[in-house]
Amino acid sequence: MSLLSDDEIVDTAHWIASHQTASGEIYWFDGDKADPWNHLHAAMAMLLGGLRDEADAAYRFLVGTQTADGGWAMERRGGVVVDASQDTNQSAYVATAAWFHFQASGDRKFLIELWPTIERAIDFVCSMQLANGAISWVRSADGRIWDAALIAGSGSTFGSIVCAERIALELGEDRPLWAAAREKLGACLRGDLRVFESSDLPEAAGRYAMDWYYPVLGGALRGEAGRRRLADPRRVERFLVEGVGCRCVADDRKWFTVAESSELVLSLELVGSARRAREVFTALSRLRRRDGGYWTGWTMPAGVVWPLEPTTYTAAAVLVANDALARRTRTCTFFHDLGIADEGVETRREAS
């Protein structure tokens, strides 16, 4: 298995930091856009590379740009909001990132500093829960709440609410409404997925790879249920190519992405499929650049890198996956711990 060396981890963290502005904001790449979820994931990765000051600046940037109702603008460019819609998954992720920071640093004072931001964000997200238990994926700039939810977004949000509950517990706060929202959301993700906009019909394998694995990665599905979902031959055939990686979208274009492949690595590792997780991760080394960045994706069978810009969120996804596989840090079991006992979580692991 081709895990990253300590020097490679540091190089990649510094590469991510090279795309951070003086304000603390992290763009996909220079001159491109920024969004809260990918910004925070990049900050988490910088922590793994020892860049605490840079990571803290990224967290504080989010504190300073939160809207009055608890969310964040979906897209910024050049320091200016270009899409004022608020994505619930993007907004919820501040809790995941904050809990990750605490697990990495043990800095309770910083967690306390972030608490008001987390509280407003999760209250906003829970207010967007639909009657069926799913979380509406966006509130438009004009205040309209979309009567639709996404599997991947709701799957990630489940994990963020778990993190928010654990932060509340750590700080001696009681938020029963968050627990109730998480329980309803978990039941929805373990139930009939046809309630979601990105429908995943029982007889179909779905179109987006993230819809395949995010119910597992976010913690709603673990144990035997998670293993069955990730081992479903229809989905495996649709998205995973041995020795190459994970396709982003199941259509006529065979486009494989490093970020989706890294998240699939995390998901496979979570359900005990360690051997397959390592195989997928090893294939990603071909997309590493000499400067520590990673190309976003490539096409097969042509083997053409596309797009022609490496992205910060891609490099971050690799560092987080490497952390889980290497099992040497305080955060290596972070995503394991999103599965909670009252959801019937099983943690049996395959021998490596």
Q: How far apart are the first and last CA of the chain?
A: 11
Query: What percentage of the chain exceeds 90 in pLDDT?
Result: 83
Q: Is 167 exposed, middle or buried (0-12, 13-18, 19+ CB in 10 A)?
A: buried
- Report pLDDT for 154: 96
Which residue type sits at 94?
Answer: V
Integer Cα distance of 259 and 245 in angstroms: 10
- Report pLDDT for 200: 52
3-class SS of residue 282? helix
Q: At what angle do helices 223-231 and 209-217 cross, to 10 degrees?
A: 170
pLDDT in tens, 279-319: 999 999 999 999 999 999 998 878 889 888 999 999 999 99
Residues 6+ apart with CB under 8 A from 259: 296, 311, 313, 314, 317
- Report pLDDT for 343: 43
The number of C-alpha atoms within 13 Å of 217 and in the hemisphere containing its C-beta is: 27
Residue 14 φ then ψ, to 5°: -65, -35
**Spatial CA neighbour of 70 closest among 59, 61, 62:** 62
3-class SS of residue 310? strand
Which pTM value belongs to this model?
A: 0.94
E strands in 116-239 = 138-139
Q: At what angle do helices 36-48 and 52-65 cross, to 10 degrees?
A: 160
For domain 6-343, the CATH class is: mainly alpha
- Report pLDDT for 204: 54
- CB distance 91 to 105 below 8 Å: no
3-class SS of residue 349? coil
How remote is the C-alpha of 277 from its chain's centroid? 17
Integer Cα distance of 221 and 268 in angstroms: 12
- Report pLDDT for 347: 34
- Report pLDDT for 198: 60
DSSP 8-state secondary structure symbol assigned to residue 272:
T
Residue 330 φ then ψ, to 5°: -70, -20
For the chain, domain boundaries? 6-343
Integer Cα distance of 8 and 291 in angstroms: 9
- Report pLDDT for 31: 87
Integer Cα distance of 170 and 132 in angstroms: 30
Around Cβ 314, how many Cβ atoms within 10 Å?
A: 28
pLDDT in tens, 15-40: 999 999 999 999 999 889 999 999 99
Integer Cα distance of 280 and 258 in angstroms: 10
- Report pLDDT for 301: 79
Which segments in the chain show pLDDT lower than 50?
201-203, 341-352
Integer Cα distance of 194 and 8 in angstroms: 42
Integer Cα distance of 178 and 118 in angstroms: 12
- Report pLDDT for 253: 63
- Report pLDDT for 341: 44
3-class SS of residue 335? coil
Two tokens, residue 100? 């990750």
